[in-house]
Amino acid sequence: MLRRENWSGIKLIGCSAPMGDRAALDDAKRELAPFQPEHRDGLLHLCPCESCAEKFIVDIAVKFNTRKLLIESAPRLATMQHSFERVWKAARNLADELEGMDDYSRDYLINLDDFDRLYFGRLYQASAASKLPSPETDEHEASDGVFVETLLSLANYVSARSKHLAENCHVSAPIVDKGGDTNVIKQRFGSAGSYLVGWCWSAFENFQPETATATDNGPFVRFVNAVYSYATGEIEENSTLLNWIKKLAKPHRQYYRCLRHYGRLESELEDLQADAATVASGARIIELKNEMEIALQALSEATRALNRELAGVGKIPMPT
């Protein structure tokens, strides 16, 4: 049987550097300006200085290129499922064949005399033949052995993982390959375009909070296009990105609105708990904890809504 080329993300190391020029990087940075004049360490969020903005844009471009390459070369879900099915059948069939061996065959394979050990000893050890099914003897009943037990466990494991993969890719078994531009990475983690928009929105929230919109040729759209141009070296605007921006704008806006509200409540609570306790501060702490519980529920709902639109692009983290 011809061996198929093995897909591996390791092969892509060093292939995802930005392909655009400095002008595209400067265009992207311009949409995030103005910057803080000096770098500040120890911030909970990204430092809003120009150097950090540039590093963040480069990082987004590299991540986008990596995701794009992973998607382009990844196996299709049906291909993986068929491979798992073949492994499952092979493991089950071998287990059945071993279980069905008669006692003479079992004895011949598992027990070697001194002469046979000279010729087959090393191979016997390497093949774990001692774990093969054993025959019935005066002292012991026949046993299917560890080898068969391992094969059956392997078959069960591969079957379970196959079903789990289908669930992660939001499809039901049995898998029917209907063609189209998709594969397991895209189905499980989402498209490279949605990934890029998500990271760009995060950058805007850090440098230009509450200003990102899906307005055609607006600052955020220009920023996404500039980052895309810097990442890929392509000058023409990508219409797919604009579609993703319009699709993701509302859930992103709602998510960050809830996140900021929760963050303000959490910050106020930390300040009160750090100060000397008073009757008034104690009452406010109780109020804050109740407000934070409601805010966390709203944030959880916004997170789930955004993750549904992102199609698993990289789950938005929940605060602890």
| pLDDT tens column, 49-61 | 999 999 999 999 9
Q: In sequence order, which ranges of 41-176 are alpha helices (DSSP H)?
A: 50-73, 77-99, 103-110, 114-126, 145-168
Q: Give the tens place of pLDDT for each residue, 85-130.
A: 999 999 999 999 999 999 999 999 999 988 888 899 999 999 999 9
Same domain, 101 and 154: yes
Q: What CA–CA distance (Å, rounded) separates 135 from 128? A: 16
End residue of a domain, out of 148, 181, 214: 181
178-212, pLDDT tens digit by residue?
A: 555 566 666 666 778 888 999 999 999 989 999 99
Query: Can you read off the two tokens belonging to residue 118?
Result: 């000279």
Residue at 156 is within a domain: yes
Tell me which amino acid residue 267 is. Answer: S
**Cα–Cα nearest to 7, from 181, 158, 184, 141:** 184
Q: Do 177 and 191 fall into the same domain?
A: no
The span from the CA of 88 to the CA of 95, in Å, is 11
In whole angstroms, how far apart are CA 174 and each of 78, 124, 183?
Answer: 9, 40, 16
39 neighbors 47 (Cβ within 8 angstroms): yes
Task: Tell me which of 166, 181, 196 is where a domain ends.
Answer: 181
Domain count, the chain: 2
**pLDDT tier, 218 (very low <50, low <70, confident <90, very high otherwise):** very high
Backbone phi, then psi, for 208, in 5-degree steps? -135, 65
pLDDT higher than threshold 50 for residue 166 = yes
193 and 231 housed in the same domain: yes
Domain of residue 123: give its range: 81-181
Statement to judge: residues 191 and 304 lie in one domain: yes
Tens of pLDDT, residues 265-297: 999 999 999 988 899 999 999 999 999 999 999
258 and 215, same structural domain?
Answer: yes
Q: Is the dihedral of CA 242, 248, 253, 259 positive or negative?
A: negative
Q: Is the pLDDT of residue 314 over 80?
A: no
Lowest-pLDDT range of 37-41, 61-65, 148-152, 158-162: 37-41
How buried is residue 142: exposed, middle or buried, by Cβ count under 10 Å (0-12/13-18/19+)? middle
Query: In this structure, are residues 221 and 215 in contact, taking their beta carbons and an 8 Å threshold?
Result: yes
